[in-house]
Structure 1
Amino acid sequence: MIEFYDVSQQYEAEKPIIRHLSLTVGKGEFVVLIGPSGCGKTTLLKMMNGLIQPDSGEIRIKGKELKAWDPITLKRNIGYVIQQVGLFPHLSIEKNIAYALDIQKAGETVKKQRARELIQLVGLTEDYLTKYPNELSGGQKQRVGIARALAADPEIILMDEPLGAVDQINRGVLQDEIIRIYQTLNKTIVFVTHDIEEAIKLGTKIVVMNQGEIMEVGSRDAIVFHSKSHFADDFIGNKGFLSYLNIVKIEQVVCPFNGSTNGNPAEIETTLWATTADPLIVGIRICLENGVNQIGVRDAAGRVVGTFNLNCLSRLKF
């Protein structure tokens, strides 16, 4: 879908921003670019939609060299979401969402229908369509920004730290919404962040960058547990491990009853419980706080499905 071959870029002499970088983003992947400030993440993202041309190397989008793309056609294939959102203050939310369709001269019925579909997709109700940006919270504006990026049904979505200015509670909610949208629409997403937990939560592929170079590329599990780069290992570190424990659910490691399929509460001698939807860190914390090795686990309907103990962690496939 997106291919970089030995790409380099520098803004000033002897100050390269991107150094001989090669990377492939496959169709349907959720790729997260992470690294310290100034490492080239945003520059790489801007190269993907033609805002910045590399000094050397080659970039291909859908097998076609970037330079060969008509700029307007390229932008129709790529949605772009930024931290500042950039909604037009004088336009209603409906018109903001449909702006790309307006440029394409789509009919009014098409624009209205698309706006209704997308406002619901991003978790807002249709009554927001008549509001204006100054009537929305920061988190609501970000939702509208995502909806606007999806309006022309692009195959690729680029997100440049879109949740950086959102408070922690709403940030978690919006991360869940982005995952849901990704799973629903199966778009190719490239997401820039400096937040390790966000990267581990969202990415199907994580790219760790430093000083314009890729230090490590891999899945969440590979980056956290099998890093081959000293920089990536130090950068992700313990925070990456704790983030992993805060994201992976207990249902992945629950120890079922021996010979039991329905679950029998009498088989568990405990008053301490977690649910299958709780993250691993919750089960570990309950055990440590109460000085026990085992707690019971219930599903969403309250049925007992098994137990959680530290030995259960060996069930994880790293």
Structure 2
Amino acid sequence: MTIDAFEEHRSLLTGVAYRILGTMADAEDVVQETWLRWSSADRTDVDDPRAYLVTIASRLAVDRLRSARSRRESYVGEWLPEPVSDLPDGADSAELADSVEFALLVVLETLSPLERAVFVLREAFQMPYAEIARVIGRGEAATRQLSRRAREHVHERRPRFEADRAVRRRITERFLKACLEGDLEGLTGMLAADATLVGDGGGRVRAPLRVLSGAAKVVRFLIALPANAARYLEQFGLPGDTPLRVEVTEVNGSPAGTVSAGGRVVSTVVLDVADDRVRHVYVVSNPDKTTRIQVPGPS
């Protein structure tokens, strides 16, 4: 009975923790710790196992995020969330799918841990304010204020007119093709004038240590990639002449570019698109963060 009750809500707990933390490894640790606390707790007065488990997982995730933020201060270069091919909770509703998009997770990194937890529980999982208040240990009025502040913060940083998935897929295909062909004019035409590129190599592989701002800088970086492919692959222990595969796949529920070689993913490219222009380019190359991206099958 204990195992069944926990397993029934495992995917939900993983989804909550992943959205709060931004990495699946940390989310899985939180879920494991939640299980340990659940299995050893006196549940005589637990009327709602789901609410009880979400409370434990959310509090553990907030605590872990606070600790992780201090560790990330020594991270080499820019820190990006960990992309995933398989959504943690199936994301069987539009709200769940939208709340796990990579570009949104990047924005959530700018919230305080409590704001992020409130935003996730309210916007993704539609929890009542009274229940969220119990989860975070705040009054309902304070919880509503946290939610409003988080929502306004996110809306300021997310495009007002985001492209739908079909448009993003077409733009991602064109973008990757232009990069491979060194199409300077084509890339420039796809980027917003104030576009940025954020790379995350984690000190494991070469990546920009700072955000590249402005279309001209972003294009110069992208145009140089094919010429540096051999040296890039050698950082992964692969021969420089290993064939590269560049495909458009689903990452965090949306189209993204997956670069693979030798049967492993070496980079994930996610575009943030609005008004038919690429606003932000996110490139995740840290080998620790690409293990949950599926290698595309044979063409």
Q: TM-score range by the shorter chain?
A: under 0.3
**Greater C-alpha radius of gyration:** 1
How high is the TM-score relative to the length of structure 1? 0.21
How high is the TM-score relative to the length of structure 2? 0.22
